[in-house]
Structure 1
Amino acid sequence: MTNNLRSEKLEIERIIFIGRTYKEYLNMFDLSLPELERKKILDCPAGACSFSAIGRQKGLNIEACDIAYYFNRADLYAKGKEDIQHTIEKMKKSKNNYNWNYFKNIADLKYQRQQALEDCVVDMKRHNNRYTAVSLPELPYCDEAFDIVLSAHFLFMYADRLDYAFHIKCLEELLRVSKKELRIFPLVDLEGHRYAYLDHIIKNLTELGYNINECKVDYEFQTHAHTMLKIVK
């Protein structure tokens, strides 16, 4: 996933272009195909995930947005391949920080990440208009444009570099473009610690009238990253 803010000079070297698969999305967000049918869905930030690509093949109405999409698609593909290899090499040295029940081994993980990248880039070529370049916390969509918004591996995860004010602005914007609900995964930072201000955010959103559920999901790769926040209007 992309994990950098847009600066005055946006450099591709500062973008991490890695994605999860369609199957991972269903598990991360506790979703099924039937409950996504006939809904307009936004994946933000989508990175090199194949959720949009495979979901579209299954007849789903999905749009993806990410800061990485400001770059040329060919450059992104090359960057994605490099990032996967770099990540895999680092992961070999820290295997104990991950739960290996979902993936068989590092080779399986690499295969899944490469497949997500391939599916994503192919779909970009076919449906370029469904991939929008954005710079959070601002989104170029109308109020309540999507039935459901999914946001993975961005908010809460980079708490060491994205401050509380930025988190609030992003949440407000993601909720603005959602008609029914917003789901966020995971709820921990890069070290596996639960986001320090999460209870405060839940309290404030509840007071504003949102229905909040912190749900355990059937997916855990990073240790302790197995819960999702479901915010319903």
Structure 2
Amino acid sequence: MSLAEKKLGIDRVVFIGRTFEEYRAMFNLNEKYLKGKKVLDCASGACSFTAHALQQGTEATSCDIAYKFTAEELEKKGSLDLIHTMNQMQHVQEQYVWKYFSSIDDLTEHRKRALKDCIAHMKKNPEAYQYGALPNLPFQKNEFDLTLCANFLFMYSDRLDYTFHLEALKELIRVTKEEVRLFPLTNLSGKISTYLRQLLEEIAPLVKGTEIADVPYEFQKGANQMLKIYV
């Protein structure tokens, strides 16, 4: 059992996801850049990035701790998690920027669509959804051109400690040969993770460089930057 499984069991993982369009905004991606690349989405949850990227000429793979369960089990869990999450959103609306999404109803429709597209694609293409848990991924060194990590590292700094973040970053770097992108850099409270500065110092000898870049997406207040790691 990995460190992630010990610290973040499946019963504590909310299986909801973001749409392909959100990924493009969160990571400032375009079709020309993605076309022909081999891309890993980790930890991908119920996101529909892989489903749509594959249709547009990107060799995409999703990886998540949740994928040891069947698509049918995840579909049921995702539907229940979505109801619970949207109910909770009613109490914390002031923590979010309502521009990309016009309302909670609009947000709900996006999350439903991501889940629907992810599950439908998973049922037809199970090989694109690999079970794995950071910091030990089932992939070869330099297997992917680009690795994306959304709404996991930094966000859960209260549950996953500094050592986990460092080992997870090293693993994402190991499986990537060009670039790793992480979004956001904030924790659940909307503050820049206290781990960020030290992590950048520790991974510096392992990579060609790093960059903190603004992105055209902000839902949680203050979460409008990504980390780019040039491998």
- Shorter-chain TM-score range: over 0.9
Match status 1:179 vs 2:177: yes
2:4 aligns with 5
Q: Which residue of 1 aligns with 2:147?
A: 149
Gaps of 5+ in 1: none
The structure-2 alpha-carbon separation of the partners of 1:201 and 1:15, relative to structure 1 and needing over 3 Å to count, comes to closer
| Alignment pair present for 1:204 and 2:194 | no
Kindly indicate whether residue 73 of structure 2 is the aligned counterpart of residue 65 of structure 1. no
In the alignment, structure 1 residue 118 sits paired with structure 2 residue 147: no
**Aligned counterparts of 1:59 and 1:209: Cα–Cα separation in 2:** 28
Percent identity of paired positions between Structure 1 and Structure 2: 44
Q: Please give the residue correspondences for 1:191-230 in structure 2 after superposition, counting only pairs within 5 Å.
A: 191-230=189-228
Tell me if the contact between 2:213 and 2:227 (Cα under 8 Å) persists in the aligned partners.
Answer: yes
* Number of residue pairs aligned between Structure 1 and Structure 2: 229
CA distance in structure 2 between the aligned counterparts of 1:209 and 1:31, rounded to whole angstroms = 21
Using the alignment, how far apart are the partners of 1:43 and 1:158 within structure 2?
17
The residue type paired with residue 49 of structure 1 is C
| Residue 110 (structure 2) pairs with residue 94 (structure 1) | no
Is the CA contact (8 Å cut-off) linking 1:37 and 1:59 kept in structure 2? Answer: yes
Q: Deviation of residue 11 (structure 1)?
A: 6.1
- Give the TM-score of the pair, scaled to structure 2: 0.95
Q: Distance in 2 between matches of 1:149 and 1:176?
A: 10
Q: Is the 8 A contact 2:100 2:218 kept in 1?
A: yes
Deviations 1:138-160, CA, capped at 9 Å, x for gaps? 00111000000000011011001
Q: Which is further off, 198-207 or 132-141? A: 198-207
Gaps (5+ residues) in structure 2?
A: none
Tell which deviates more after alignment, 203-212 or 22-31.
Answer: 203-212
Return the offset for 1:104: 1.1
Q: For 1:145 and 1:103, locate their aligned partners in 2 and report how far apart those are by CA, in whole Å.
A: 35
Shift of 1:226: 0.6
Q: Contact (CA 8 Å) 1:64, 1:130: kept in 2 or not?
A: yes
Q: State how far apart, in whole Å, the 1-side matches of 2:225 and 2:87 are.
A: 27
